[in-house]
Amino acid sequence: MEKKKKAGFKIPHTYVLLISVMIIMALLTWIIPAGQFERIQQGDRTIAVPNSWQAVDQNPQGFFAIINSIPRGLVESAEISFFIFLIGGAFTVISETGTVEALIYKVSQKLRGRESLVIPVFLLVFGLAGATLGFSEETIVFIPMGISLALALGFDAVVGMSIVAIGAAIGFSAGFLNPFSVGIAQGIAELPTFSGMGLRIIMFFVLWIVTSLFIMRYASKVKNDPTKSLVYAEYHDENNKSTHKSVELPEMTRKHALVGIIFLLGMILIAFGVIKYGWYVQEIGAIFMLTGILAGFAYGYGPSKVADLFVAGAKDMVFAALIVGVARSIVIVMEDGLIIDTIVNSLASTVDGLPGAIAAIAMYIIQIIINFIIPSGSGQAAATMPIMVPLADAVGISRQTSVMAYQLGSGFMDSIMITSGVLMAQLSIARIPYNKWVRFLGPLMGIWLLIGAVFLVIAHYTNYGPF
């Protein structure tokens, strides 16, 4: 007997959701007073001057501004979009060799009966990458591999995406050596770079343990009953047959090993470049492209075969690449409407006069709200830390505590915000609807936010410093 399809509200398409948010932001530009901070250049950063906000002429965003923001968003996010095309092409070449499947087979054989250990191990690996290299956009490269591994071990795509994306997220949020969040914020706060590392390392391991247990619990439920998967419908047809491209997992050969070595060397080179020379998506994309091409040649493919595979892989990434630009258009509407600084100034003024630990929590909440309108970690630091540091001094909070409020507020929500282009790209590659991701991550997000609040209170009462 066929099951009757449940009637009810259907979540809109991702693009519809993003454009709806953009329209709401455009309407707010007619309501919220326009204003701007004075900004100065500090090194290679432009930062806001505290107490310099002033009202300016209103610049409401109309119909043409709304539709024009989408191509502008695509242009401004072109670096990340083309990065997605490059990794899609390169990964398809590598994937076609069967090396990923061979490696997964080897791992699955080694972990037979202990499959759940994959979760804490991968979370730790990507967590350390997030905490030290600031992994965010870079995780897009590994999403297909994480999903393939999870499916081979009897889990689902949610687990596969989580061990990569969520692992990097807890590392990025704790950020004990993250140059893109903590490093910039501490520089603005005039704190020694990466000072206060001890408490942040403790927080990282707390987040790692809690997150591992949460994902393992879900993974166990899916392994025992695949229909419990939140994305069962996305990966199975109406006859309950898997729609995932299933392949027979091959034994590891010398050719596979050679491709694997080339890939590993490429990843080592990328890590070295990020740490030593501050490489970003352009350089990372170039190395990953080269890695894919060399891997194809090493496996025995000719130039034309490599080119065909590369183009096919890039084509599969169109949805993910475009969605980054659409997410960026939301911020463009708010920037052009001159309401971002007004929102930041209004929120910051609520902290003034609050006592100690309450003020620290208020800063944390404010940074969470601001993260919705300024999804860039470094951009949020430049916009908010010059304002939050004097406030921290005034209400008796250490500057290090104000940095922690920023890093947690700007880090956690990136994993669930609809304005995050990276998250939207990850979900589209993983074929996970946004509403189902929220359903999965929502309870964990609540736990993360609570852990963050606890650590902020600890930071305040221990006078987290050096100052």
Phi, psi of 54 (to 5 degrees): -145, 150
For residue 272, what are the β-bridge partners?
Answer: none
pLDDT at 157 (0 to 100): 93
Residues of the chain with pLDDT below 70 are: 1-14, 42-47, 100-101, 104, 108, 133, 179-180, 237, 239-250, 274, 280, 320, 375-376, 378-379, 382, 394
Give one DSSP letter per residue of 417-456, joined into a string. Answer: -TT-HHHHHHHHHHT--HHHHHHHHHHHHHHHHHHHHHHH
| Distance (Å, whole) CA 150 – CA 148 | 6
Query: Roughly what angle, to the nearest 10 degrees, separates helices 14-28 and 318-336?
Result: 10
* Nearest C-alpha neighbor of 97 from the set 289, 267, 269, 294: 294
CA angle, 114 as apex, 108 and 119 as ends, to 5°?
Answer: 80
Listed as own residue / partner, the contacts of 38-46 with beta carbons closer than 8 Å and 24 or more positions apart are: 42/188, 43/187, 45/184, 45/188, 45/378, 45/382, 46/382
CA distances from 336 to 56, 192, 340, 396 (A): 12, 35, 9, 35
* Nearest C-alpha neighbor of 123 from the set 205, 38, 220: 205
pLDDT at 129 (0 to 100): 81
* Nearest C-alpha neighbor of 408 from the set 431, 386, 381, 433: 381
pLDDT at 247 (0 to 100): 44
pLDDT at 3 (0 to 100): 41
Phi, psi of 48 (to 5 degrees): -80, 145
pLDDT tens per residue across span 367-398? 898 887 776 676 677 677 777 887 787 677 89
pLDDT at 123 (0 to 100): 93
Count of alpha carbons within 13 Å of 285, Cβ hemisphere only? 18
* Nearest C-alpha neighbor of 149 from the set 133, 138, 171, 164: 164
β-pairing verdict for 39-42 and 54-55? unpaired
Q: Are 370 and 350 in contact (CB under 8 A)?
A: no
pTM of the model: 0.71
- Surface-to-core class of residue 43, CB atoms within 10 Å of its CB (0-12 exposed, 13-18 middle, 19+ buried): exposed
pLDDT at 5 (0 to 100): 43
